[in-house]
Chain A
Amino acid sequence: MSSSESMTTYTYEGIPQYMPQGAGGLRPSMFQKLNILADAAKYDVACTSSGTARSNDGTGMGSCERSGICHSYSADGRCISLLKILFTNECIYDCKYCINRRSNDVIRTSFTPDEVCTLTIEFYRRNYIEGLFLSSGILRSPDYTMELIYAAIYKLRKEYNFQGYIHVKAIPGASKELIQKVGFLADRMSVNLELPTAESLKLLAPHKTRKNILTPMRLVQNRMAENKQELALYRNAPGFVPAGQSTQMIIGATPETDFQIMQVAQSLYQRFELKRVFYSAFIHVNEDSLLPARTDEGPPLLREHRLYQADWLLRYYHFRAEELLSEENPNFNVLFDPKCNWALKHLGQFPVEINRADYKMLLRVPGLGYKSAVRIVKARRVGTLDFSDLKKIGVVLKRAMYFITCNGKMLYPTKLEEDYIARNLLSAGEKLPGEVVNMGYHQLSLFDDVGFSGKMQQYM
């Protein structure tokens, strides 16, 4: 089915309207469409509805909570917060990793703007969802697709008076004006970085370029900054992407090390002021010689988990990527989370005296989160803290005890040696990720995640 046959275009306030038809002129039912376009959107990881607080003005439907709300959980344990759908799964691009690439033989279908609106409103009033997450394959051209998306959310906001959360993908290559118009209607925008480096992008997504992806990202960033000024001047000026922008990249489809990935994430946070970077463990959906060989092990979930842990350290714990990893040691440890691993390599800075250490150093103690660190700083103003107080505050002593002193004393006499502490942490029932626990059953292979096997032997 060629795309030109399957649509009729007429104009609605200058916006093209896309009228989809199924193969052979049969229209798929709403149920089929939703299944196809939700299934096609599921590889997008972000489903958060946080970052905006907005009350209803009394004339429409919807509101936003700053913290975001999860409405359900799918069988993979991920939260369902937004109606995550593609506008269309037709696509002119041929990205190797993507289920919707043009060379794949899958059923193609599209929503109309009205269908997107009705679905969102009817799901929302039943409290199934917190809002809409609208992404899309590229139909005809980036501009054409962006206009369809704009038409849908314009309708949703202006005609249906929807005041809930909207997350929209900015399509790389779409015009500046269109992206701006969309930004004034959406709460969050995201441009997918797709892959960590420009070379990988060239290899696996031949129709996309790094420049095309970073341009809209920069545009949204600049426009958000201007909007802050406008809002300071005129309180009722319309908000531009109030919940900030995010991005995501696929992990494990290309040979980048964790170190490279963390450096990319770090520069995105610093230079593009992103709210979040999401990591998506590569899932084999296509057979292609350019993709890594298929193994029985499933997506690299442990690696994804470690990257999220490290991402957290960058955003909330004042760590830098260069502290966690290096050229010589470019990948995360399987056994220990990045913070614990850092502490084991920097025992010279420990033990830390709880009653005196500054806040930033407290943040670096394994077993001590930023909430406990704040509580410690508050509580030690009133009196000195002991190990029993730390327990009440919520410190995980089982891990922290090797790295801290209270009034100059450690909880138990401990050797400050890497091997000693590592062994003790492991035997104290350090929660090991499933992948490591199961390692006994299958042989490590050449195709395993890089650099993990050596670490295992070191401590076992």
Chain B
Amino acid sequence: MKTVYVCSNTVTGIYSAIYDAWKARKGEEECSVALRGAVETELFCEYVEVEETVHKAQAVEALICRHLGREAYWDIYHAVLAADTGKGDAILGAMLAAKTIPDSRRIMEHLSHPKVEKVFELSRSVIGEAHFLKGAVRFRELAGGVLYARISPKAQVLTCLAPHFADRLPLENWMIYDRVHRMFVIHEAKKRWILVQDEFLDPERLPDLTEEEKEYTKLWKGFVHAVSVESRENLKLQRQHLPLRFRPDMVEYM
């Protein structure tokens, strides 16, 4: 009978589910991973709630690094963050498929395997969204000098963005709020960034924008307008590059 491991939509959750499935030594057809709240009930299936621990997650990460190599780890790391309910199952499937090939480190080249292909696609879309947001994040200066940005991504990309901005702005106090997944990254000047989950930021309680901030918003809006060539105007092309869904969080379109 097939066993479905049910877990939460977090990195720890999914890796813990993979841990349990792996421990049970089941074949590809005999197990799968489903996210809590998105379980499609099937006949002749056993549903198991996964106990989620950091230890299990670390063990799976180490397993992936050791047997599948850094490159496959990089793909899986991004696929875990995707906005797709089938991601846990795809990763588990790809890992099990790696067992059946001679060189497990080349698993990501086997794109003809549907699960591997799915992991590849998920990873590409997450990397794409994260790269885009590296440019589209807009920090606003709050009273007290803290830079605050809000994003609404499909995937949980905060952990992809944090190292980038920590490297870029090491001397600033900044935070990015992912309002879709209700997570923050907080960076204190000259310190390491931290990810804060399961807290709800009250937008009412944010300090006001500084006067300077309003001035620079105005300057930036003016610049974006001035730098466009009227006789080449092409709003469709602009929309292709910069989808409307990102614009509510970008000051130049507010």
Contacts and interface: CB of A to CB of B under 8 A. Distances in A.
B183 interface: no
Contacts of A61: 168-172
A25 interface: no
A63 B231 CA distance: 34
Find the residue from B131, B135, B169 having the highest chain A CB count within 10 A.
Answer: B135
A130 B219 CA distance: 16
A81 B216 CA distance: 17
B237 interface: yes
A267 B242 CA distance: 35
Nearest to A126: B139
Interface string A292-303: 000000110100
B227 A69 contact: no
B238 interface: yes
A60 B167 CA distance: 10
Interface string A1-38: 00000000000000000000000000000110011001
B29 to A, nearest CB: 23
Contact of B226 (A35, A55, A79): A35
Given A34-B219, A392-B112, A39 B238 contact: no
Interface string A30-58: 11001100110111000000000001101
Contact of B237 (A31, A55, A77): A77
Interface in B130-144: 131, 134-141
Contacts of B165: 127
- B contact face: mostly helix, strand, loop, or mixed: helix
Contacts of A56: 167-168, 170
Contacts of A31: 218-219, 222
B235 interface: yes
Nearest to A36: B226
Contact of A63 (B167, B236, B240): B167
A12 to B, nearest CB: 25
A389 B226 contact: no
Interface stretch (A117-125, A194-202, A224-232, A355-363): A117-125
B interface, size bucket:
35 or more
B219 A76 contact: no
Find the residue from B190, B232, B235 having the highest chain A CB count within 10 A.
Answer: B232
Contacts of A74: 224-225, 227-228, 238
Interface in B118-177: 131, 134-141, 147, 149, 164-165, 167-172
A62 interface: yes
B229 A38 contact: no
B205 interface: no
A317 B169 CA distance: 39
A283 interface: yes
B147 A125 contact: yes
Contacts of A55: 167
B31 to A, nearest CB: 26
Given A31-B218, A31-B222, A392-B112, A75 B170 contact: no
11 contacts: A35-B223, A55-B167, A61-B170, A62-B168, A71-B136, A72-B252, A74-B238, A77-B236, A84-B227, A130-B135, A378-B109
